[in-house]
Each structure stands twice: as structure tokens, then as C-alpha cells.
Structure 1
């Protein structure tokens, strides 16, 4: 308790200092010095990311961000030369004149197109999958080597090479993510640092998704590690981090591609990606991504079919104001994923011992559901001055599931029961966010500051009922297996008891501030804090016109980080303290209302970024306090003194040791256990923590010259150690370890791409924590035409 008070007092002092920075005396800055703001594009109009921009005579250098932008401050007036360098493009020099007290705007286009870039980068030793620059991770332009937080990026280029046709497969490239937990309506949860982490973030803001996510319009997936409530809030992040989906944005030239993929089990997938300027001035830009997808299960029953329509429109009003409107509209019809729960009185203690047939679904295609969703993202960016930018974002979502979902429960060592729920379950979400982003100097100290305000709301209504089918022998199903269909299921709901209530009704009002201070050119310090007011209106029952469980909570979340660049922009040592929280309803026996669960992470590590090697190695320790546990003296009540620890280390490596050869690898070790809890789980690993040890690897080689230039192959896989579906002192149910191997063959040219992929070469049998069996060997072929 004393430590928390000290931390909050320290955070309060830091907050006061940060707030004072923008209002420091103006004479602390050199008003006669000049500035440069530039944008570098590829020939196709895409932002040129990672370009080294330097002014050699002044010994100044920087790197373009995810928007292709760069900035120089505090420069002397006069004639200078700007040099641009990026692997795969011609080295370029440009003379320019600086005027004291003015900002010079610089815009240029590199000579090679993005289509030629991949082959050229390989021939020159480019590390194609190591682009980590992001404006979302820190909510400001900040290079990976300057950031004290760990994050992983899965790019669209990597997803293309691996012929990714479903969102979950992209997480094979994320250290520690494990096998996705696919829930009833297709929504997914993966693991981050021993905590189940849902998919709730899109373009840096809340975007509640209750259904399957299609990857067709994804530019990249950013996996931000550790408690991230300070900048993103508790409602869209877990104690392990968050997953940010970054969508494709329009650019200033005409470009497009059409792709078709086919695979086992009648997979058919057609995607379009079309980008075009809408006027000659190229101030109005449009990009549209679409997907049509259908497939059936490898089991006897099960299917999914969907479409996605994702337009993105930007309009540059003037040199200061740019507007963006981005949307996702999708619909799915599918059978619910397998969900199987064991029985604690049975002899089977693992899914293998259970002996349930791998190829039987115990479902029926007539028992299905339909989901719909839209995600609307509107953004206004306004350049207030040379030092300050305003970013206003409004995100609106609706995600629903209507129809039948099925769950399976083991009743004995040889029988199971099917339970069917008919539901109408829509979610409505809103996130309104205002950020002021500054990049300025006080004396010789550079500050990069974000001040933000955030409003987030989520509301869901629920109308459902559940019926149980007769038990059947899962080892010899017989006629009972055929009796499970909609004709037999639907009449049971005539007598079922339906519920109708508002299940979620919550709002969060937040303010946050974060500053990255360059103490020297090599030493950086970050200090951040968030104030969060959470209001839960409880569950509303319209038939009774009453609510239950309403509560309000206030929480503060600090964050600190240090980075020391041993070799500037190449080798960084970093450490961080990060805080996260989860709101908790209810009260103990004495009537004391519960406080939010709280997680405190301490982490240290090293980052390396050379042209041939990008790597991160870190050790973290996350302590969770204020957890609820059963009150041993008062049944039906809880006490709030439980604790949990999750600690371990992570290694990620992205390397290009030889021309044409690229390596992506990761290894994680996570030790997670309840350190104070009920005796039934004390000292044991939570089932939601996944495998203690995981590994991922992808090797690819592409010919860089000769007649077969562009021809390549890839090989890799994932590993997860033994984990648990149930883990108490009286009952453990084991999910076995797995090793899954994949291979790919591809031929990539400027105007077309052909690919062939084999997933799960050995047809390894493996399961998720919900005991859903995963696909055996699948062969996917793909052809893409680019124009």
C-alpha cells in the first residue's frame, strides 16, 4: 500500500512537470533557428517507411515514420543538403535553403516502386519483415529503438508470403500467442504474457468485435506487450497487453490487385484491393478492400461463409487539415466452433485419453448462426503549429450474433450432451478520442508529448434460451447422431425459458498524458499517467423495470520507461514500469465495495536493429493484486486479497543474414501461478495462461537474380508445451504439447504472384484450450494479379 502511494505521488509530481512543459517560457527556444518537416513517398504513392534522412554537414539524421514523415528542429539558417537512403532505392541528395524562424516543407518521391522494392531489397540485404515504426504504440511518432515497451508487428507482406486466409493464422508469427480460443460467434482470444487477450482494438482505439475478423484489409497487426491501460484503457486491454489491427489507408496513385485462393475442404476466397485518387489534385483519395470467403470444416459438419466490404476515404482540406473515414462492413453465416468441457468424475485426464473421434463434430450444418458487424473510424488531423498536432478520432461499432450456437459437455467416460443456445446478442460501442501531440524543445531537451482525452462506451442486449439434447455415446454415436438437426432442435425452444435483459451497459471517461524526454542523444525517459472514471449501470431487466449490479470506480494508471542507446538507433537497453487495472463489481460481507484488480509490471531488456538483424530480448514480472477469492467464513461472498504472478522472458528475432534469406523466430517462457488464492488453485497455473513454453519459426529464401528471380520457398512452424483445460488440486485435464510444421512455395513478380502453402505437414493432432481440434494437413493455392 505504501509503495502504491509513493508511486502515485511520484506520478503526480511528474504530471505537474509534464503539464508545465508546453507553457515554459518561449525564450527557452531559439526562435531564429529553422525547422524541416518532410514527407517521403514511393513512386506508387505509399509512405516510404524507414528512410534514413540526414544532413551530413550538420551531423543530423532521423528516420521516416509510418506516414513517411520526418522532422528536424533547431537548425541553423543557410544552404544545406538533405540525403535520403533506403535499401532498394537509389541514394538521393537534395539541396535546400533554410530561413531562420521558419519551417521548410519538403516532399519527395523515391525512384523505385513498392512492387520492385521487395526484389531489390532482397538483393541488397534488406530485412523485409523488420519494419516496426508505429504511431499507435506510443500514441505519437516514436521509433522502436526509442520505445521502452516491447511490441511485435505482423506485416501484410509476411501474411502474403504465408498465404494467410484467416486472421488467427497470422498469430503464428507472434511469440507466446499460442492457439487461438475461438468462441461461439467466431470472435477470438489469444495469449499475451500468460493472460487471455481479446481482439478489441482497431487503428489504436476501441473497436469491439463480437464476430470473426477477416484479414483482407489489414496493413499490419501490432501486438503490444504488458499492461497497457495507461495509454489505451482497461476495457480494451488485458494485463498481458493488446492486439491492434491497423487497416490499409489510401495513397496518391492508382493501384490494385485481385487475388483468388483455394484449399482443402472447399475453401474459396476472392479478394480485391483497389486504390485511386478521386481528383487531379490528389487531395481526395479512395481505397476499397473486399473479400468473399467460404469453406467447410475438415470434420463431418461445420462451415463458414462471409463477405467483407472495407472502404477508406481521405481528404486533404488544406496543408494543415486532413480527414479520414474508414469502415468495415461484414456478415457471416457459420456453425459455432467446437467447445468441449470434460467431466471431473471421469477417468480421462487429458483430451487424448478421452478418445473422442477427431473427425466428428457432433454438430449439424442446419444448426447455425448469422453475425453482422460494422466498424466506422473517422479521424481529423490538424497541424496546429510546427510543434503541435491535433488528432480527433470517433469510432463506432455494432457487432451481433443471431441464431443457434452449440456447446458439448462430457457426461461420462463414453457419453456427451449437446446444448444449444438460441440468441440475439448485439453489441454497440463508441470510442471518442482527442489527442494533442507535441514535438518541441525546452533548452536543449527534446520533448515528445501526447495529451489525450477518451470516452468509451459499450452496451449489449441479450435475448436467449438454452436447451439440452439427450446424451449420446461419443465412441459409438449411432442413430442419435443423425437426430441432431434443426428440425429436432427448434421445437424444444417452444417451451424454453427465454431471458431478455441489457447485459452490458458501461462508460469510461479518461484523461492521460505521456512525455518522452531526450535527456541526451542516447538517454530517453518516458513518464505517463492516466485517470479513469468507470461507470457501470448494471444489468437491466425490462420485465421488472429494475437494474442490479450498478457501480462506479476511479483508477489511476502510471507508466515509466528508460531507454539508453548503446549504439544510437542500433542497440538499446530499456526498462519499464507499467500499470494496468480491471474494474470489479460487488462488495464483501462487510459491505466494502471492491476495488479494481491491479497489475504492476517491471521489465528490462535489449533491442537490436541492424539492416541484417532486428531482435528483442526481455524479462518481465507482472504482479496482479486485489483479485477476488471465495470467503471461507461466509459462503456466497468473496474477499479481495488474492494475488497472481506472471513472469518470464521473451525473445523475438527477425534476420536477413544472406541476400534472399529471411528468418523470423521467437521463444517465450512464462511462469504464471496464483500466489494467494483458494486452496484449490493456490500455487497452480491458471488455465487461461496457455503453454508455459512456446516457439515460432519461419525461414524463407527468395532468388534475387537470374532467370528464376522472385522464386522462393518457406518453411517453419510453431511449438507449444503441455497446458491445462482444468487445473485444481482435485482435478487436472491436460491439453498435450504440439509441434506444427508448415511449408510454402511462391513466385513473386511485379504484376503477379503465385503461391502454394502446406499447413500442418504432419497432420499433427492438437487442440485449443476450449478443446477444439485444429486442422490437419491443408494445401492452399493462390494467384494474384497486380495492376
Structure 2
């Protein structure tokens, strides 16, 4: 019998006997909900006697068809909760229901939750990444802000810079020359290089197409996250990615706009097997856009597939890939003359706002490949094992440009030509527990972390002839041919490889003294091994000292960091008071003139404040005061300028407010305020007592308010309005020379019509075309118009 005839016969038998099978079997169905009645997605449900298993869908619902009559036990298994067995009796031709409501809300901290709630839709505070244990927002002594996908969608935010507008204190993002984005946090620079709580470094642009939300974790976060994922003393930006879900669905969207913007995105999800325990999701995007300036463009592609598999009721596997490639031109980066002896604003300097002084053939190409694998195993009702492997690779080829200011209204183009590679590997093993000891609840995470970093440089830096930026020559053009000629005949060569390893162990315990009083203690030990710089031309690994006593050869350092916190819930699940004392560090190489080796630079933060979840979840947020002190900062030795000494200090103090509100149905508000006082407290005379360069504005405000009609013929129609304010700041700040970035106030507005099968949006960014600059003096775009159409299925 041919294969075709066999397929026809099987199909005939199925259609013939399916009705008879249904008459002789029964159905088991049910819904799993959280303690507040909201549906719980992706919960493992199995029949103990038969081994059949499935996952709940977005509505928390599950179904087993064609079950033979008899008595069975339905097992509901959730990370962070006690296993539940429900006995059912199946009768032929009938449906039996087995529902379950979880007794603890905290399980959502260890497993992604889909909550179909219209109340305060932008407030998605519960997370399993910030504390790495089942800890609610009100129980966590650390401040963190979240930007949900609902807010990202409503604001038609198509890049990380637009998303960060909603984070208090983030400021105007700094775009590096290859599309990499950097934010401010409490006066310090930090990058979004954490993904799902572990290293996901990307030295290139990151498309937000696969983002579930952004988590801005505030303060030194070394204890749980280390220093290898660009956590700074001010905080950490964590990208939480979209996960596969137990249903068939998706969306195709197109966005067009100013400066020839064309963007196409796809989101497709589907179960892979009949039991719906294997799930697949693909997010993809391609974007092309020119700049508002006279030259410049970007053209990129992003693919982000993810696969999850509930192998057994205790073991689950998640595999994600982020692939991105981009071709474009560098954004303007202007470096003013540092010895002008003047105090002036960037406006006073007079560099034209809409000119790049470069060419469209000076392009860079980047490629990013991040692979993330996670296995969760429920050891018992109290303990879960989590194993994570992350591999991140970024490559940069081509031309990276900057403009260096000189006297007499001139600038010199500075161009890097060549290739750069970054490869990072992170392996973690965590054991997460939720158990009672002497009638007191303990939530514990203990883990081991190995991180390897490898960098490869093969590039030349050249300077080209100066140009008067106020009256440039009519034939002025920086071409690829001119740059290549200069690189072949001179320039500064960097042809090297360097590597480092970090071995770490950490433990954290949240201990409930009472149901409302909680203390947290955490400690981390890091062993850092820098393996030196290998010079490809000489074949030697560099040793000895470089400028100012900084070693470029191998060295090793051990660091200890801590996190302590106290939380008292004044009103259980509604209002809490908190305080924390957290530490962070960065490794520093070299030695002083007397041969004393440098120690790691350290910072400690003291913070206290209040968190709320009030009026039936209609108002959530936090108010806090922080004080960060940094010590062991390197500075030039005043007695020997060829060396450094390690007695520099810095402090950063401030207040942050983060509020998300739903005063009445359909109306939502997101608002934030950040005040930051930063000062260098012990340094060389030219900068001592001053605010550090690049620390951003000392005051920032963000808000977004929107209303959506929730019933009637206009259901789904809405509008939003928001804005951002930043006080003046410094690109350069010393006793003799200051370059001031003016304050800014920028407003955005949106209209949208959201229906079950489609969504139409219109957005205007920077309504008034306010002139503004990042800390790298990159001009920001004037009014930008966006239109978007999405089809859902």
C-alpha cells in the first residue's frame, strides 16, 4: 500500500470513528486563577494516571478530550506554589470541571503571567527578575520601574530611546556610533545589556520588537547581577522578552512616518504539539529610515524566535534567539575643544543642528546574535532549580565617526575604520526556595555565576583635514576613498585581543519576621581574572603599566558586595515602607607609584521610601530618597603625573517618584520625577566639587496620560498626550572650561483605534520641534509624524 493510500485510510478512519470515540469517552476541563481571580497562563496541568499533559492558555483554561471513563487525579504544578491534586470522575459523553485558585499571589514572580485586566493596564510591577525569588513589588526593598508592552504599543515606540521616556531619570538617550543606546540612572551611565536577568550584551542597536517590558532596576545591583551586564552604580536596565503562549495568534503591523520611515513587524505564535506543551513564537522586524539631517540613514533587520517546552510537569525548557543586523551611518557625535577656557552652551558654539559633515558612503555594518537557554526544574514544593546559559555576540565593521571641535569655528572629522568583535558567555545555576523555618517564611536564592568576555579589535583611527563648520567649502566632502587613503598611510592602529573571566557565588534571603515585616540579606563574592591584551602584530601579551599607572597586562581581583533591606507593610498588600543598603563595584587595574596595587572601586547606597498599590490597584508607585557614595576612584597623582592614586570619591543623592494611575475607567496616567545631586568630592583641583561630565540633568519629569473609550460604538477609540522635561546639564565641566547642554521640554501626542482584529495609530513626537541634545551632543529630531496599522489574528 502506498504512503498516499495509507494517509487516506487513516483520515477516513478518524472521521468515521471520532463521533463513536466521543460517545464512549469524556472530557476534563478547568481554569486556573491567581488569588485575585485573574487567569494564570502557561500552568502545567497533567493527568497522573495517563501521563497526558497540557498548559493553560491566556484565559487560564485547559482541556483534555477523549478521556476514558474512570477516576483520575488532575495535577496542577506551578513554580513557586505547592502541587495541587484534584480528583475527578469521568463519565462517557460528559464533561467534568476541575478549577483551581492558587493560594499565593507570589507565584507570578517565578513564572510569566498573562493577566487580562483593564484596570491600570500600564502597571505591571510583578516580576521574577529583580529579586530572583517569589517576592511581590510591595515586599521588595529595592526600587524599580517598568514600562509595559501596552504602553510601548500605545505610544508607537519603535526604539529603546522612545521607550525610556517613561523611566524617571533616564533622560535623553545617548546613541553610540553603531546604534548602541545608553541611558542615565541616578547620575550614572547604564546600558540595556541585561536580558531576562542575565547578560545579553549588544554593542549594536537592539530592536524592541520582542520586548514584553523594560525593567529599570535602581541603585547598585551587583549583588545579584554582577558588573558584567553593564549594571552601574545608578542601576540596571533589564529587557524582558516575549514568551510563547498556549494559543494560535499573532499580529502583522506596518509603521510609516517622517524621513522615509518604513517599518514592518511580525508576531506569530503557535503550539507545536497536540498537547500544547511545546510552543513556538517568532517576532521579527525590518526598519529603514533616513535622518532629519542632511546625511544619514539606518537599515536593519531583527529576528527573535523563541521555543518553550514543558517536558514534564516538573521540568520546563526555554530557548530564545535574538538576531539583528544593521547598516547605517553614525549619528553626530561632537567633542568640543576641552581647552577653550570658556563657559558656553552648545548653542553658543554654533555647530549647525541639521548637518553631519559626513557622507552616506561612510557606513558601518553590525550583526548581533544572542542565544538564551533556561531550564527550570521543580525539585520539590519548596525548591526550584534554574539553569541559564547565555551567549552574546556582536560584530562591527566599517566606519565609526565623530567630530572633534577646534578653535576658530573649525572641526576635525575623526573616523575609526575596521572591525570589532565582542563575545560574552554567561552560565548561571540558581536554587530558589520558598520555605518555613521555625514558622517564619524564607524566600531564598543561592547561585553560581561564570562569565567570560572576549573582545577582538582590528581597526585604525584617522583624523582628516579641518573644516570651518560655519562657512564650509562648497566642494567639501568626506568620502570613503579619502578615509581609506588616510588609514592606509597613517593613523593609530589597534590590532589586539583581550579576555577576562569572572567566577561568582551569591545568596539572598528574604525573611518574614511577621506577615507584614520582612528583612532581606544578600551577599556576593566575585573573583575577576583579566587575561591581558594580546597584540596581534607582535604576538605578545602586554604587561607593565600604561598611562597614569594603569596596567594593561593580566591581573586578578576579588570583590565582595552586599544588599540589605527592610520592608514593613503598613497596610497589607496596599502600602509598604522600605529601606535598603546596597553595594556595587567595578574592577580597576594598575598600581600606584609606590607599587601598591589598585583595589576594586566600590559604591554603597542608602535608600528609604514608600511603595503603594492603592484603591483596588488604581494607583501604584513609589517615592524614595537615595544617597550613593563612591570610593576608590582613580585620579591623577598630583606628585607624579605618570601615575594614578586611588583616593577619589563621589556622591550622588536624590529623590525619585514613580506613579501609575487609573483614576476612572479608560483613563490612565504614567508620571515620574527625578532629582539628582551629583558631585565629585575628592579629586584633582580642576574638577573637585563639581558635577561630573555626562551625569545628565539634575531634574527630570516624565508623564503620559491617555483615555480610551471602553464601551459603546466608539469602544477602542483613544488619545494620549505626554512630555519630558530636563534641566540644563554639562557635556564638559571643569574649572576653566564648561560646555552646557540647555534644558528641554518636549511633548508627544497620539490617537488610536484598537479593535480585536486590527489597530490604527497616529503619533507625533516632539510636537513643538524643541531643540535638544544628548550628553554626546547629538541633536534630537524635530517633530516626527508616525502612522501605524496592525492586523491581529
Unaligned runs of 5+ in 2: 1-32, 43-54, 61-76, 88-96, 544-552
Worse-superposed segment, 208-217 or 409-418: 409-418
**1:30-429 → structure 2 map (5 Å cutoff):** 40-41=39-40, 71=81, 94=99, 117=116, 121=118, 126-236=119-229, 237-346=231-340, 349-429=344-424
Structure 1 segment 318-717 matched on structure 2, within 5 A? 318-346=312-340, 349-481=344-476, 483-497=477-491, 499-547=493-541, 548=543, 549-610=553-614, 611-717=617-723
Q: How many residues align?
A: 702
The alpha-carbon deviation at position 593 of structure 1 amounts to: 0.5
Q: Distance in 1 between matches of 2:640 and 2:488?
A: 40
- Contact kept? 1:579, 1:601, Cα under 8 Å: yes
Separation of aligned partners in 2, 1:436 and 1:95: 27
Distance in 2 (CA, whole Å) between partners of 1:714 and 1:206 is: 35
Helix, strand or coil: the match of 1:165?
Answer: coil
Asked if the contact 1:455/1:509 (under 8 Å) is kept, the reply is: yes
- Measure the CA separation in 2 of the matches of 1:297 and 1:220: 27
Equivalent pair of 2:41/2:245 in contact (CA under 8 Å) = no
Q: How far apart are 1:283 and its partner, in Å?
A: 1.3
* Cα offset, 1:242, TM superposition: 0.5
> Please, what TM-score do these two structures have when normalized by structure 1?
0.86
Cα distance 1:502–1:579, how it changes in 2: closer, same or farther (>3 A)? same
Native 8 Å contact 1:507 1:534 kept in 2: yes
Equivalent-residue separation in structure 2 for 1:536 and 1:520 (angstroms): 45
Q: Distance in 2 between matches of 1:142 and 1:500?
A: 47
Distance 1:757 1:769 in 2: 26
* Cα displacement (A) at 1:741: 0.4
| Structure 1 residue 457, shift from structure 2 partner | 1.1
Distance 1:558 1:772 in 2: 37
CA deviation digits over 1:209-238, x for unaligned, max 9?
100010000011111000000000022211
Out of 496-505 and 592-601, give the one that drifted further.
496-505
TM-superposed CA distance for 1:494, in Å, is 2.0
The aligned residue for residue 6 of structure 1 is none
Q: What residue in structure 1 maps to residue 90 of structure 2?
A: none
Superposed CA RMSD in Å reads 2.5
1:618–1:650 Cα contact (<8 Å) kept: yes
- What do the CA deviations read for 1:715-759 (whole angstroms, capped 9, x no partner)? 011010000010001111100000000000001111111100000
SS in 2 for 1:781: strand
**1:488 Cα deviation from its structure 2 partner:** 2.7
Residue 72 to residue 37, structure 1, CA distance change in 2 (3 Å)? farther
CA distance in 1, matches of 2:761, 2:786: 8
- If you compute each CA radius of gyration, which structure gives the higher value, 1 or 2? 2
The whole-number CA distance in structure 2 between the counterparts of 1:753 and 1:721 is: 36
Aligned-pair CA distance for 1:94:
4.9
Distance, in Å, in 2 between the alignment partners of 1:40 and 1:450 is 27
Check 1:372–1:78 CA distance in 2 against 1; reply closer, same or farther (3 A cut): closer
Distance, in Å, in 1 between the alignment partners of 2:498 and 2:57 is 41
In the TM superposition, residue 40 of structure 1 has moved relative to its aligned partner by 4.4
Q: Is the 8 A contact 1:304 1:332 kept in 2?
A: yes
In 2, are the aligned partners of 1:266 and 1:296 still within 8 Å (CA)? yes
What's the CA shift string for 1:61-89, capped at 9, x where partnerless? Answer: xxxxxx9866369x9x999xxxxxxxxxx
Q: Please give the alpha-carbon distance, in whole angstroms, between the structure 2 residues aligned to 1:572 and 1:93.
A: 36
Residue of structure 2 equivalent to 1:64: none
CA displacement 1:230-258 (0-9 Å, x = unmatched)? 00002221111110001111011111000
CA distance in 1, matches of 2:192, 2:41: 32
- Secondary structure, aligned partner of 2:344: coil
1:96 Cα offset (Å): 9.1
Deviations 1:389-431 (A, max 9, x none): 0000000011010001111011124211111110200001000
2:729 is matched with which residue? 723
1:47: Cα distance to partner? 5.8
- SS in structure 1 of the partner of residue 274 of structure 2: coil
Q: 1:576 to 1:260 in 2, by over 3 A?
A: same
Look up the SS of the partner of 1:628 in the other structure.
strand
The alignment partner of 1:159 has SS state of helix
Aligned residue for 1:71, secondary structure, equals: coil
Further displaced range: 411-420 or 174-183:
411-420
Counterpart Cα distance in 1 of 2:225 and 2:496: 26
- The 3-state SS of whatever aligns with 1:435 is strand
Counterpart among 768, 782, 785 of residue 788 in structure 2 = 782
Q: Report Cα offsets for 1:519-547 as digits up to 9, x if no partner.
A: 11100110000010001112111322222
Measured in 2, the distance between the counterparts of 1:95 and 1:475 equals 72
Q: Choose from 767, 771, 776 the match for 2:777.
A: 771
SS in 2 for 1:137: coil
CA contact 1:425–1:462 (8 Å) conserved in 2: yes
Q: In structure 2, do the counterparts of structure 1 residues 95 and 401 end up closer, same or farther at CA, with 3 Å as the change threshold?
A: closer
Structure 1 residue matching 2:767: 3-state secondary structure: coil
CA distance in structure 2 between the partners assigned to 1:97 and 1:47 by the alignment: 16
**TM-superposed deviation, 1:501:** 3.5
- Kindly tell me: are residues 96 and 676 of structure 1, through their superposed partners in 2, closer, same or farther at Cα, counting changes over 3 Å? closer
Secondary structure, counterpart of 2:395 in structure 1: strand
For the Cα contact (< 8 Å) 1:271–1:292, is it kept in 2? yes
Question: Which secondary structure does the structure 2 equivalent of 1:603 belong to?
Answer: strand
Q: 1:484 to 1:159 in 2, by over 3 A?
A: same
Please identify, of 535-544 and 660-669, the stretch whose mean Cα deviation from structure 2 is larger: 535-544
Distance 2:102 2:746 in 1: 58
